[in-house]
Structure 1
Amino acid sequence: MPQTADDLDAVAVRTWCSLALDALGREREAIDAINVYPVADGDTGTNLYLTVESAAAAVEAVFAAHETGTSVPSTADAVRAMAHGALIGARGNSGTILAQLLRGMAEVLAEGAGAGRLSLALTRAAASAREAVAHPVEGTVLTVAAAAAAAAERPADGAGAPAVVRAAYEGARTALDATPGQLAVLGRAGVVDAGGRGLVAVLGALVEAVSGRAPERAYEAPTAPAPAAAVAGGAGDCSAGDGPQDGPAFEVIYLLEAGDQAVERLRTRLDGLGDSLVVVGGDGLWNVHVHVDDAGAAVEAGVEAGRPYRIRITHFAADRLHARPEPAQRAVVVVVPGDGLGGLCAEAGATTVLARPGEPPASGELVDAIRRAHAREVVLLPNDGDLRHTAAAAAEQARAEGIRVALIPTRAAVQGIAALAVHEPDRSFDEDVVAMTAAAGATRYAELAVAERQSWTMAGICQAGDILGLIDGDVAVIGEDVPETARKVLDRMLAAGGELVTLVLGEDVPDTLADRLEEHVREGYLAVDTVVYRGGHQCAPLLIGVE
């Protein structure tokens, strides 16, 4: 039972995140079903759930770091973690806007979380979310957020935090009921705004976290999907732009490290490229969401502004007047350590998840990728031994949703490449999984890394700056430069035999290294072929596979 908190302390923030995740979990399908603006792509509830899941995980991580006796994090630490987690995990337009709402609240609550600060936090949240949307539209989650903020200012002076959040919740409910009269597509479909309904669920969780009691009136609204003729109006679960009948072809989302001025220039450029533009964040880290016909130009604009990563590009259905296509029979979901490998795997037909160093994908991100694959059968390749539990949890959740998932425990990207190379969707699922597992298991893997500090290793003592050659996860070679270390690693791996060497080069590694290593293999191992790929920005200096 959540405890009553006159101030929103760290424990209440943690409880709020947990309750919000539970509420969105219960209502996800219902919210997906009423996602008709601007197009009925049926993922607003899922996007909001994944966004809050990331926020809750970030708060749990802060608590885990303070688990010493009775120590708990400060309210400031908890709300900032919540906002940061939502930002990096935001999905879709509604999830991105929710992340900005939570960020706006965190900016105020980090300085204090009494009743007056809660009212101010809701006001800041509504204003910052509206500013983040290039072309705000009334009758969306922005309208619901503004109504919640206005209602939170009405309780009499001296009213406690529970009264403030109850007023905000009731104001949001009232505004949500009015959305069909503000946005024609909602009125024709006979539904309320999906993003707004998700926000009402989140505010209901806040009421319970602060007061210890759930709202007296649970929200009920029509949930039946609208006719196709009533809902064709653009692309995505957006609150920005009315959108023509035939909107842009792609949804582009990425995290971006960039300064404020660069982001302002980016907003202007992306606004000219497409619609449904939302850019949220601050302090050097942003979440960018836009719908465009030229996905490459949208990514290039991010590169010019700063450093984009976790890039996700979704191609909208060609026929926007029809429901989602029938699921494919089989798909492969692959975790990749660099955008270059992401492109390689995507060309092979796989759905990719980019893993950034120090920020491995959460189970929700893997589940999202499995859903995006839109197949009855999915092969999941985590490509990292540390992701085995995360991948197993994602597989279990997807199985609970009726998707047949096989998890192949690949420990490195080169094993995933080997498995994907023998993938045959026309054979039986079991046969395909066995063949892919065998190919991955027959591939030894290695990588080169730069030592960050002096330490003991299986190969002896290394110094900061040394080049480490890791074979099957253990340090086997310590060298002073990349070429010589790479040759020693190859020799050790090929001593046990092999037919094919795979080299994956990091972004800053010159092509000449691949040429020299190919020559080394050709001269010393006559029956061994070599293939070379570019890993991209996130990749290690060199990945090696021998099969």
Structure 2
Amino acid sequence: MLTLLDASAVRRWCTAAVDELEARRGEIDDLNVFPIPDGDTGTNLVLTLRGAADAVATDRSPTAGGVLAAMAKGALMNARGNSGVIVSQILAGLAEACQGAVEADGRQLAAGLRLASEAAYAAVAEPVEGTMLTVARGGADAAAQLGESPELSAVAAAAAAGAAAALADTPEQLAVLAEAGVVDAGGCGLVVLLEALATVVTGQGGRHAPARLPVRNRQALEAVREAGSPEFGYEVQYLLHAPETALGPLKQVLGELGDSLVVVGGGDGLFNVHVHVNDVGAAIEAGIEAGRPHRITVVRFADHLSDGAAAHPAEPGQTGTALVAVAPGDGLADLFRSEGVAVVDGGPGGRGPLTADVLAEILATAAGQVILLPNSSAVREVAEAAATRARQRGVTVAVVPTKSPVQGLAAVAVHDDSRRFEDNVIALAEAAAATRFAEVTIAVRDSITYAGRCSAGDVLGLIDGEVVEIGLDVAKVGISLVRRLVAAGGELVTVLSGSDRGASAAAQAVHSYLRSRHPLVEVNVFVGGQPKYPLLIGVE
């Protein structure tokens, strides 16, 4: 029986937790069979804890606090589903309470359980009782009742027993569980996790988590998700590198798009985002606006229904998948069309298309699923409005938030008809996000920019929408921009010349610079024909 939890004990706990969850994965999955017949909550927890175990295996920290931090980080990086994200936050709470501790005692473990419970509740946008949140609080409350200086073994045993008691009560708190005749699946997984800890600390095994209750209504069981309501058809999850200040706006946007919103993370600017939505593109776009999303996954619940029926079937005659792009120039339109993309005219003088124009092109494809590329921040609202109206007519539309035609071309290059629609949306969004873009334009009035004061007629160089160069020559500004972009890394540069006189010569000057200074970088130069921007540059 341990009196202190050291680094070795934490490692043994992590291994035991994976083993126990693996052994009981089927039991936990069967508590929650939606969206697939054998469930996924147990599977999500196993995958999450495997990630934690992999991180612990490579960690060399000699302290309990250090190993707990590695365990929490590994779980965060590999969290799957609603339950996995919440467990990662529970582990983060334990790690925070034991930060810097060579060995953790009963008091620190009890404090960690309290922090873990509070962190889990804080991470969920709309906490619901009768879930693993309730189970986490049950374990923390039981540990707190032992007083100010409890023994480590007593805390571990009380937490497992208290969590199990809370789990047994979940059908009384959540009507859908009572109707299906089960306890909460995620809560059951959490009890298994705490059981493993108690076994490592006390040296005595034992199962507190009840097996699933006899199923009284299997049809009701099949209607229960791991979390959230049935009105949203997709689970979107991604890791996000972003500043803490971006989380408030992100949560507001995602909360308006769907439910089952959980955002968790550590102090290093890395967060795990989980939400159920109908608009996959908008959920990914929100992440791009907040920071840098990656490891994006999308699950379409309807794909796993036993009858295979789609959640939002298209109108008769609508089949297949199509790409639609806004192209502000004849050359750009030809480039997109050559890749099989339907094109919306960017509008006279670069003013942008109308909602009706975009909607008409979406419907003209006669496709049941459409990926829409606005290719400009100014066109995004028009694209979203057109997508909303198309969805009302039964067309599934995802808007990939491309901010420049060069991002649109990069996205189109990775399109694959053999992939699922949702996988294509992810691939296109990631390709666009990985493409930095620059623009060269001419100032039409005197102004103050981030790069200083400019006068009408000056040549302005922008990177990712911000003015970073002011000059007098389009080619020189273009070369300066591409020098900045390539310095940060890149293998492929795309240069689009605009409709301005001299734009083609400037594009060739940029090409010559890259050939002489960066011979290993692939360069493509095209006539885009876009107004107002003599040069558009993309670096992948």
The TM-score by the shorter chain falls in which range?
0.5 to 0.7
Q: Secondary structure at the match of 1:202?
A: helix
Counterparts in 2 of 1:304 and 1:324: CA distance versus 1, 3 Å? same
Give me the identity figure in percent: 43
Cα pair 1:34 1:225 within 8 Å, conserved: no
Structure 1 partner of 2:117: 126
1:262 pairs, out of 236, 246, 271, with: 246
Structure 1 partner of 2:203: 212
Structure 1 partner of 2:54: 57
1:89 pairs, out of 61, 69, 78, with: 78
Structure 2 partner of 1:77: 66
2:10 pairs, out of 7, 10, 13, with: 13
- Please state how far the C-alpha of 1:85 moved relative to its aligned partner: 0.6
Structure 1 partner of 2:293: 308
Answering whether residue 100 of structure 2 is matched by residue 106 of structure 1, we say no
Please give the alpha-carbon distance, in whole angstroms, between the structure 2 residues aligned to 1:23 and 1:345.
Answer: 41
Residues 335-394 of structure 1 show CA distances to partners (whole Å, capped at 9, x for unaligned) of xxx99689936642276999x9xxxxxxxxxxxxxxxxxxxxxxxxxxxxxxxxxxxxxx
Higher radius of gyration, 1 or 2: 2
Please give the alpha-carbon distance, in whole angstroms, between the structure 1 residues aligned to 2:489 and 2:137.
Answer: 55
- Please state how far the C-alpha of 1:482 moved relative to its aligned partner: 5.6
- Normalised by the length of structure 2, the TM-score is 0.59
One-letter amino acid matched to 1:120: A
Structure 2 partner of 1:533: none
Counterparts in 2 of 1:62 and 1:249: CA distance versus 1, 3 Å? same
One-letter amino acid matched to 1:314: V
Q: Secondary structure at the match of 1:59?
A: helix
One-letter amino acid matched to 2:82: N
Structure 2 partner of 1:515: 525
Cα pair 1:76 1:109 within 8 Å, conserved: yes
One-letter amino acid matched to 1:285: L
2:234 pairs, out of 243, 250, 253, with: 250
Please give the alpha-carbon distance, in whole angstroms, between the structure 2 residues aligned to 1:101 and 1:488.
Answer: 47
- Please state how far the C-alpha of 1:324 moved relative to its aligned partner: 6.9
Matches within 5 A, 1:157-168: 157-168=148-159
Residues 218-271 of structure 1 show CA distances to partners (whole Å, capped at 9, x for unaligned) of 53312777745313556x422xx5x2xx42111110111112221011111110
- Please state how far the C-alpha of 1:467 moved relative to its aligned partner: 8.7
Please give the alpha-carbon distance, in whole angstroms, between the structure 2 residues aligned to 1:271 and 1:144.
Answer: 24
1:273 pairs, out of 243, 257, 263, with: 257
Structure with bigger RCO (C-alpha 8 Å, 6+ apart): 1
Matches within 5 A, 1:519-538: none
The number of residue pairs the alignment matches comes to 356
Please give the alpha-carbon distance, in whole angstroms, between the structure 1 residues aligned to 2:251 and 2:43.
Answer: 26
One-letter amino acid matched to 1:105: L
Matches within 5 A, 1:442-457: none
Residues 44-76 of structure 1 show CA distances to partners (whole Å, capped at 9, x for unaligned) of 00000011111111111113xxxxxxxx52222
Q: Secondary structure at the match of 1:317?
A: helix
- Normalised by the length of structure 1, the TM-score is 0.58
Q: Secondary structure at the match of 1:191?
A: coil
2:418 pairs, out of 348, 368, 377, with: 348
Residues 23-64 of structure 1 show CA distances to partners (whole Å, capped at 9, x for unaligned) of 01001111111115799771000000011111111111113x
One-letter amino acid matched to 1:309: H
Q: Secondary structure at the match of 2:126?
A: coil
Counterparts in 2 of 1:484 and 1:466: CA distance versus 1, 3 Å? farther
Matches within 5 A, 1:103-252: 103-112=92-101, 113-215=104-206, 217-222=207-212, 227=217, 229-231=219-221, 233=223, 236-238=225-227, 241=228, 243=229, 246-252=230-236
Please give the alpha-carbon distance, in whole angstroms, between the structure 2 residues aligned to 1:134 and 1:119.
Answer: 25
Residues 390-444 of structure 1 show CA distances to partners (whole Å, capped at 9, x for unaligned) of xxxxxxxxxxxxxxxxxxxxxxxxxxxxxxxxxxxxxxxxxxxxxxxxxxxxxxx
Cα pair 2:164 2:208 within 8 Å, conserved: no
Answering whether residue 14 of structure 2 is matched by residue 27 of structure 1, we say no
Counterparts in 2 of 1:249 and 1:483: CA distance versus 1, 3 Å? farther
Cα pair 1:38 1:232 within 8 Å, conserved: yes
Counterparts in 2 of 1:225 and 1:99: CA distance versus 1, 3 Å? farther
- Please state how far the C-alpha of 1:180 moved relative to its aligned partner: 1.2
Q: Secondary structure at the match of 2:302?
A: coil
Counterparts in 2 of 1:482 and 1:126: CA distance versus 1, 3 Å? farther
5+ unaligned residues in a row in structure 2: which ranges? 310-406, 431-482, 492-511, 527-537
One-letter amino acid matched to 1:220: P
Cα pair 1:270 1:298 within 8 Å, conserved: yes
Counterparts in 2 of 1:482 and 1:118: CA distance versus 1, 3 Å? farther
Q: Secondary structure at the match of 1:35?
A: coil
